[in-house]
């Protein structure tokens, strides 16, 4: 499972620390808004990301160092979807929760990010929400755009097995373009894969789109 579970312990220290009691509803917020956020950000890939432990989802979730596919930049270390979604959950929890149940009774939920909305009686964490938007737009979205298309030259072929320099984010069952033909791949290794069509493809370019069904639109900040 590529989408590692977000836990209550993620909110016990650092900039996401929350004052939560034993009867806190935080877990239900993690479950509801965690899934909602991942579904919105992953689009049609959500179910596949939950069911399959693919490297592309692990890197997207955690952030990773990578090389620009088009040779325009060197390398990046990006904040991934986990960073973004944890902050969305934090925002929604504080937006709806002004008090907590503690051993001494009901007390205000206090931390350096909580600001009460005048006129609405809610608590909001505007800073953490904007951090999430900024991280998505400046880290996650460039990562997705960078790997919108992965292009690799076919350097050797034996039968229907093609060899390339690497098969980054390619999985069995994926559709690719090779030369001017469409194919479905199987038996993927670090540098080879099989295709379901016949022909000679040495020196042609194989192209696959590992994130083609993920929405690639920048997020906007909330209007309060």
Domain boundaries, the chain: 8-146, 150-208
pLDDT above 60: residue 106: no
Across 71-92, average pLDDT: 84
pTM score, whole prediction: 0.82
pLDDT at 113: 43
Check pLDDT > 60 for residue 21: yes
Cβ neighbours of 137 (radius 10 Å): 16
Across the range 49-54, mean pLDDT stands at: 88
pLDDT at residue number 72: 66
**What is the three-class DSSP state of 124?**
strand
Per-residue confidence (pLDDT) for residue 66, from 0 to 100: 86
Tell me the per-residue pLDDT of 131-175, one tens digit each, with 9 for 90 and over. 999 999 999 999 999 999 999 999 999 999 999 999 999 999 999
Q: Average pLDDT in the 96-119 region?
A: 49
- What per-residue confidence (pLDDT) applies to 35? 92
DSSP 208: E
CA angle, residues 221, 9, 104, in degrees to nearest 5: 100
Q: Are 101 and 23 in contact (CB under 8 A)?
A: yes
pLDDT at 112 over 80: no
CATH architecture of 150-208: Beta Barrel (2.40)
Please tell me the least confidently modeled range out of 91-105, 164-178, 193-207.
91-105
């Amino acid at each position: 499972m590529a989408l590692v579970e977000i836990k209550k312990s993620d909110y016990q220290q650092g900039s996401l620390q929350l004052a939560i009691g034993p009867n806190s509803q935080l877990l239900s917020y993690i479950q509801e808004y965690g899934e909602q956020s991942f579904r919105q950000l992953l689009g049609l890939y959500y179910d596949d990301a939950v069911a399959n432990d693919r490297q592309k989802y692990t890197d997207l979730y955690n952030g990773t160092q990578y090389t620009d596919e088009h040779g325009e930049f060197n390398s990046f270390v990006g904040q991934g979807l986990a960073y973004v979604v944890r902050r969305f959950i934090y925002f929604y929890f504080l937006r709806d929760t002004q008090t907590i149940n503690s051993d001494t009774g009901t007390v205000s939920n206090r931390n350096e990010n909580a600001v009460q909305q005048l006129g609405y009686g809610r608590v909001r964490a505007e800073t953490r929400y904007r951090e999430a938007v900024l991280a998505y737009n400046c880290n996650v979205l460039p990562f997705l755009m960078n790997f919108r298309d992965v292009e690799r030259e076919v350097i050797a072929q034996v039968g229907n097995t093609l060899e390339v320099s690497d098969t980054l984010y390619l999985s069995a069952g994926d559709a690719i373009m090779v030369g001017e033909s469409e194919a479905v791949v199987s038996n993927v290794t670090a540098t080879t894969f099989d295709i379901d069509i016949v022909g000679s493809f040495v020196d042609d370019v194989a192209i696959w789109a590992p994130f083609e069904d993920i929405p690639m639109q920048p997020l906007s900040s909330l209007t309060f």
